[in-house]
């Protein structure tokens, strides 16, 4: 006679499974009951999922345009299929080398300068003992992030034009003449990078300050008893304590190295600095919005996105092997 399944002894066990041959067989979760009990939470989750589906996944259908001679009149299904012709035209064109070079240079320099800057700033803020002075410095440093990019670019243009504050300061230090620095190829990249530092340093330090607050203070007390100075404490306690956060932020930043923002560059550059300022995203803008070459524009943008994805996945795997920390 077949032995009847016996429920697990505890109340929790009775809800979760039955004893079968020395093991536990899990019962299917009552999803409908859970939905009825947590209607509000599932409704909020549905809104979030709908946002990502509508604005992140459905637009990916537009990738097809990269392989077409797209015409807005004929639409996606009526446009002529050209395969890889758009990609071949881009890479065999006269601008591919310049665009890729400028994108890499600006992206790498932005990473080298503006990734560690918020970390250093957070470490310095963490050492300020006067809470009123610390709050004041934090507030002042956060403010540029909330300034519109258009307004911020207008301020930079005003400071660097002939007669502007920065141009006059350069004239005083070098003994030359006051001139528009954004018209000079040698100055465009430093100005672009430093503008990013000014806008993002304070706001970017918030996440590192939060990570620093979780470091066990008893470790610092023990280090002081052992005679460790500030630098040894920072090297052996502070940085290891926030290393996981640094690695996570670095991985995400690597995915944007090729995604040099077109907004600031479009506001700052001009024809005289195209040689050092024209990047893939500005080229995509000109192709799509000015030349109405939507197929080529989509193809170049797709290439940019694929490179960014490769950098993200590669950096994630490398850091996972080196440190054991990764995003996925």
Q: What is the CATH number of the domain that holds 225?
A: 1.10.3720.10
Cα 312 vs. chain centroid, distance in angstroms?
10
Mean of pLDDT over the chain: 86
Same domain, 134 and 250: yes
**58 in any annotated domain:** no
- Enclosing domain of residue 21: 1-37
Per DSSP, what are the bridge partners of residue 81?
68
**75 in any annotated domain:** no
Residues in the chain: 328
Q: Which residues contact 327 (CB under 8 A, 6 or more apart)?
A: 248, 251, 252, 316
- Is the model's pLDDT at 294 over the cut of 70? yes
Res. 12 pLDDT band, cuts 50 70 90: very low
**328 in any annotated domain:** no
Same domain, 22 and 124: no
**234 in any annotated domain:** yes
Same domain, 207 and 317: yes
Same domain, 32 and 99: no
Q: What is the pLDDT of residues 26-48, one digit of tens each?
A: 434 577 888 888 889 999 999 99
**177 in any annotated domain:** yes
The count of structural domains within the chain is 2
For the beta carbon of residue 283, count every other beta carbon within 10 angstroms. 24
- Is the model's pLDDT at 6 over the cut of 60? no
CB burial of residue 121 (10 Å; 0-12, 13-18, 19+): buried
């Amino acid at each position: 006679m077949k032995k009847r399944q016996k429920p697990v002894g505890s109340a929790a066990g009775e809800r979760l499974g039955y004893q079968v041959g020395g093991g536990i067989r899990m019962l299917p979760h009552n999803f409908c009951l859970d939905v009825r009990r947590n209607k509000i939470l599932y409704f909020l989750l549905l809104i979030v999922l709908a946002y990502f589906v509508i604005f992140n996944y459905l637009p990916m259908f537009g990738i097809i345009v990269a392989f077409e001679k797209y015409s807005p009149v004929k639409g996606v299904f009526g446009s002529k299929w050209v395969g890889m012709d758009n990609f071949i035209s881009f890479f065999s064109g006269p601008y591919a080398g310049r665009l890729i070079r400028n994108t890499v240079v600006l992206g790498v320099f932005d990473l080298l300068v503006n990734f560690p800057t918020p970390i250093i700033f957070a470490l310095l803020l963490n050492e300020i003992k006067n809470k009123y002075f610390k709050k004041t410095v934090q507030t002042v440093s956060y403010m540029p992030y909330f300034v519109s990019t258009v307004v911020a670019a207008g301020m930079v243009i005003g400071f660097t034009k002939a007669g502007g504050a920065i141009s006059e300061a350069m004239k005083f230090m070098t003994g030359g003449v006051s001139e528009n620095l954004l018209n000079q190829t040698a100055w465009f990249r430093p100005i672009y990078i430093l503008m990013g530092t000014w806008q993002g340093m304070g706001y970017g330090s918030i996440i590192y300050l939060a990570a620093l607050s979780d470091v066990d203070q008893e470790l610092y007390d023990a280090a002081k008893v052992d005679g460790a100075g500030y630098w040894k404490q920072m090297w052996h306690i502070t940085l290891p304590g926030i290393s996981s956060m640094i690695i996570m932020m670095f991985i995400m930043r690597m995915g944007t190295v090729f995604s040099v923002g077109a907004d600031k560059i479009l506001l700052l550059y001009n024809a005289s600095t195209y040689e050092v300022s024209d990047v893939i995203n500005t080229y995509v803008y000109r192709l799509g919005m000015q030349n109405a070459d939507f197929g080529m524009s989509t193809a170049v943008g797709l290439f940019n996105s694929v490179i960014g994805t490769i950098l993200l996945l590669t950096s994630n795997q490398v850091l996972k092997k080196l440190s054991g920390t990764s995003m996925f």
